[in-house]
Amino acid sequence: MARRCSFVENNVGDARWEGCSFAAKDFRMNVLLIGGGGREHAMAWKIAQSSLLDELYVAPGNPGTVRHGRNVPLDLQDHKKLRAFLLDKRIRIVVVGPEGPLVDGLHDRIADDPELKDVTVIGPRKEGARLEGSKDFAKEFMFRHNIPTAAHRSFGKGQLQEAIEHIERSPAPYVLKADGLASGKGVVITSDKKEAAKVLKDMLQDGRFGAAGERVVIEQFLKGIEVSAFLITDGDSFKMLPAAKDYKRIGAGDTGPNTGGMGAVSPVPFADRDFMQKVHDRVAAPTIRGLKKDGIPFSGFLFMGLMNVNGEPYVIEYNVRLGDPETQAILPRLRSDLLDLFEGIATATLSERHVDVDDRTAVSIVLASEGYPGEYATGAPIVGMELVREAYVFQSGTTMKGDQLVTAGGRVLTVTAFGKDLEQAIMSAQRSAALIEFQGRYLRPDIGFDLVKQPSTKAAPPVAR
């Protein structure tokens, strides 16, 4: 197939258009991107490179997205105002970064409004978003469609005793999951039966996890290495996007509490061609087929959180969006025009589009505020970003205080660097991360180290403080 028109850029800022045979202005469209984290900064950066873009709006965005579009305050719950905005700005595509608005039914509100018939939402309707919004729904779906996942049982309110008896009969460790969205805090893994019983009581009886914990999924523990796989779909066909490995724990060597993610590497050496073919055939394809078969319309991104168990992929979870910080590692590797893929969703012609990926390795390191994922201070001035020459810097927990960029969140920014191999990419990302300073800055010094076959003395020394 002929190469599609795309914007090609390397990590030192050389950029060019390739394969464009039309007057780009004829195809231009206005886009609204929802979200304000590092994922959305990377998405805004990528969308802004599209030959198909006219105006990009980001709601609410962050100081980083301002460089690629216009930040707008929008109350997504106020449908009248949202409709007025979409019509006034002639928005063609609404891209939803986080899962919340999708689980909340944003897609449905837009798609069911006859005045907004020309607007395409990238992200599923509420029903499809249940793949992420309800672990019980996702497990039943996988079971129905023969998609490999850990064996499970689920228990509702009033079934506390049965759940505890199930634990008594099962081998440790115990994996307990609140059914609903719990901001990454709804999964407890323990080998202690007493602790497991207490968590079950907290969820099912005492309502400590709110509505999310009114139903609990208890799963078989899977031993392996995790990898995040992604696809984009128009509901009919799908395209795999690059996979990434996320580093979820706060501390070096995978220690300490879970976070949203402290770094990412793409591609992932152990997710080789064979493994990714299995992911395609046994997970991605049956998922899209299963959704169709169940009559669940689904478009947008699907994030397959996988465990590689002796070379076999098992689904740990689905997310109906891209990952953070995985996006900051995979979008710089995507050579294709992201808006062209979105256009493929809008016109149900995704099968005709091409996903072209840079072979080089991208490493993303998150700079966080000391104390994260617990309590942390904000308002610390961030300096040195302008010194970064060989990496991309994507902002998340930042805000402007006058003319000064200051910290405003747990995960403050992500530095992404390329290398011809993993070691080079790690060194480059570490060099760049070391240039950026703020009070209490913390980073994981070992992002990617576990994937380097023979860690050499060339690897830069840890730069955490």
Which parts of this chain interact with ligand GLY (CB under 6 A)?
246, 260-261, 319, 323-324, 326
Closest approach, Cβ 226 to ligand AMP, in A, equals: 6
Q: Which is nearer to ligand GLY, 98 or 344 (CB)?
A: 98
Q: Which is nearer to ligand GLY, 149 or 319 (CB)?
A: 319
Closest approach, Cβ 285 to ligand GLY, in A, equals: 22
Q: How far apart are CA 227 and CA 268, in angstroms?
A: 8
Count of C-beta atoms within a 10 Å radius of residue 169: 6
Q: How far apart are CA 102 and CA 98, in angstroms?
A: 8
Q: Which is nearer to ligand AMP, 46 or 135 (CB)?
A: 135
Q: Which of ligand AMP, ligand GLY, none lies near 175, with the C-beta cut-off 5 to 8 A by kind? A: ligand AMP
Report the alpha-carbon angle 265-266-268, nearest 5: 90
User: What's the half-sphere exposure (Cβ side, CA atoms, 13 Å) at 418?
Assistant: 17
Residues within the interface to ligand AMP (CB under 6 A): 150, 175, 177, 187, 189, 219, 221-222, 226, 248, 305, 316-317
Q: Which of ligand GLY, ligand AMP, none lies near 213, with the C-beta cut-off 5 to 8 A by kind? A: none
Q: Which is nearer to ligand AMP, 102 or 316 (CB)?
A: 316
Token pair, residue 290, equals 């299963």
Q: Which of ligand GLY, ligand AMP, none lies near 270, with the C-beta cut-off 5 to 8 A by kind? A: none
Q: Which of ligand GLY, ligand AMP, none lies near 124, with the C-beta cut-off 5 to 8 A by kind? A: none
Strand partners of residue 419:
361
Q: How far apart are CA 444 and CA 329, in angstroms?
A: 16
SS3 133: helix
Q: Which is nearer to ligand GLY, 329 or 405 (CB)?
A: 329
Q: Which of ligand GLY, ligand AMP, none lies near 222, with the C-beta cut-off 5 to 8 A by kind? A: ligand AMP
Q: Assess contact for 347 and 62: CB atoms under 8 A.
A: no
Q: Which is nearer to ligand AMP, 126 or 249 (CB)?
A: 249
Q: How far apart are CA 138 and CA 99, in angstroms?
A: 15
Q: How far apart are CA 95 and CA 85, in angstroms?
A: 15
Token pair, residue 405, equals 């960029």
Closest approach, Cβ 319 to ligand GLY, in A, equals: 5
